[in-house]
Structure 1
Amino acid sequence: MLVIVDEREIVTSGYASRFGNEGVASTAFRPEDFREWVVSVGDPDLNAVEAFLLGDCRERRQYPKIIRERSLAPVIALNDAPSLEQTLDLFAAGVDDVVRKPVHVREILARVGAIRRRQEKDAEAVSVGDLRVFFDGRDPELKGEALLLPRRERRILEYLVNNRGRRVSKAQIFNSIYGIFDEEVEENVVESHISKLRKKLRKQLGYDPIDSVRYLGYRLDEGPQRAIQS
């Protein structure tokens, strides 16, 4: 999930719509609401944020420090006009990147991915056993062959890979994929997506790579834990 902060609703709604078309959840804040939210929101919700996008905000220079006290997610500033002085000022304030608008949302996602890879010292893809998962919109590969997935299933798989070795709850997955303020989608939809994803992976791998424990959540295993009986 991406968090967009801007004083203009037309800007935030426009970006939210375009990110939605790419299968990426986002939520928007006015600056005065964002400050209160980022210091008080619970860790599970905050951990679902993949990046913060800071648009036109009066106190924008203060936000990177506030964010860093709670999250290591990339912080990208969006500028309406070119200004070397403003760009240098934003970098000094702690943003990870400065982008001049107009900019395609795919470029923003690519920049977010590049920053996260530098932070985590990861490659452009992560291999988990026979599974290779990309983070640039491509379908994953299974035993060297492309595994075609609907975008929600692909995003869930990417989230599980990013959190491999850790158990994540249904709520955390939902917040990451759909956004924490999406009231039009039921949280139980995650179970349906994961069920379909597991069947596809199990058919190709011969075992179920997604371990689930009721009330505790899901974890991606790196090797066969439970052989599938024929």
Structure 2
Amino acid sequence: MYIIVDERELVTSGYRSGFDREGVSAIGFDPDDFNSWISGAAAEDLGAVEAILIGDCPAREALPRLVKSRCNAPVIAMNDTSSLEQTLGLFAAGVDDVVRKPVHVKEIMARVGAFNRRAHKPEPEAATPRDHALEVFFDGRDPIVAGEVLVLPRRERRILEYLVKNKGKRVQREQIFSAVYGVFNENVDETVVESHISKLRKKLRGRLGYDPVDSKRFLGYMFA
């Protein structure tokens, strides 16, 4: 789930629509509502946040510090104008990237994907042959499995990205749902996740020859 923070509703709704067209959940906040939400949000909800985009708002250099104190999602500042002084100030405040508007959501997803690949790159000594059988990009591209592209429906691809991002950790169905469909989506039943994962595991097993997703009743799923 992507979060857009901007005092202009036209900006938040525009980017939210752009992410929706890519099959990615997103929500827009004005600065005051965002401050209230992130200050009291549950850890499970914060874990569903893929990135936070900060646009035009007062004290925007204070928001990255608040975000970093509560969750590990990358923070991207979106500037209306090009200003070296402003850019340096934002990086000093803790943002992970700065872009100039207008910027396409696909570029934002690619930047977040690069951030995730760097953050979750395995240590060389820990790599095994199986590690190289699956390549996930986190930016809207389909994964490469056993040397070939595996075309997946958007929801299945997003679930795979979330599981890989949390490799080695046990995640609940509710956490996966929040990451893929959004924390505030009440129009879809959470049980749909089980159907998506079942189809995804079957495809991975058919291509890899083994099931990389471990599931335990009541405990959840883990990309092992």
Quote the offset at 1:121 in angstroms. 4.8
How far does the alpha carbon of each residue in 1:170-229 deviate from its partner, in whole angstroms, 9 at most, with x for none? 1111111111011222211111111111221223334333221222111123xxxxxxxx
Shift of 1:122: 6.0
The match for 2:100 is 100
Distance of 1:11 and 1:176 partners within structure 2 = 22
Partner of 2:52: 52
Q: Which residue of 1 aligns with 2:35?
A: 35
Alignment-mate amino acid for residue 210 of structure 1: V
Distance 2:96 2:102 in 1: 18
Q: Which residue of 2 aligns with 1:224?
A: none
The reply to whether residue 203 of structure 1 matches residue 224 of structure 2 is: no
Question: Secondary structure at 1:204's aligned position in 2?
Answer: helix
Q: Quick one: which of 157, 169, 172 aligns to 2:175?
A: 172
The C-alpha deviation readout for 1:41-97, integer Å capped at 9, x for no partner, is 111110111111001111211111111111222111111122222222222222111
The equivalent of 2:157 in structure 1 is 154
How many angstroms does 1:24 deviate by? 1.6
Provide closer, same or farther for how the CA distance between residues 130 and 192 of structure 1 changes in structure 2, counting only shifts above 3 A.
same
Using the alignment, how far apart are the partners of 1:14 and 1:215 within structure 2? 39
Q: Report the TM-score when normalising by structure 2.
A: 0.90
Unaligned runs of 5+ in 1: 222-230
Shift of 1:164: 1.4
Q: Is the 8 A contact 2:114 2:138 kept in 1?
A: no
Q: 1:131 to 1:90 in 2, by over 3 A?
A: closer
Going from structure 1 to structure 2, the CA distance change for 1:186 and 1:101 (only over 3 Å counts) comes to same
Over the aligned positions, Cα root-mean-square deviation in angstroms equals 2.0
Q: State the partner residue of 2:20.
A: 20
Corresponding residue SS for 1:4: strand
Number of aligned pairs? 219
**Higher mean displacement: 196-205 or 58-67:** 196-205
CA–CA distance in structure 2, aligned partners of residues 86 and 211 of structure 1: 46
**TM-score normalized by the length of structure 1:** 0.87
Contact conserved, 1:55 with 1:78, CA < 8 A, in 2?
yes
Taking the aligned partners of 1:209 and 1:117, their CA distance within structure 2 comes to 19
- Tell me the residue number matched to 2:110: 110
How far did residue 129 of structure 1 move?
A: 6.1
Q: Once the 2 structures are TM-superposed, how far is the Cα of residue 131 of structure 1 from its aligned partner?
A: 2.6
Query: Are positions 1:65 and 2:26 aligned together?
Result: no
SS at match of 2:70: coil
State whether residues 73 and 116 of structure 1, in contact with CA within 8 Å, keep that contact through their aligned partners in structure 2: no
How far the C-alpha of 1:137 sits from its partner, in A, is 2.3
CA offsets, 1:99-119, max 9 Å, x none? Answer: 111111111111222233344
Partner of 1:187: 190
Change (3 A) 1:138 1:122: farther
Distance 2:191 2:70 in 1: 28
Q: Secondary structure at the match of 2:139?
A: coil
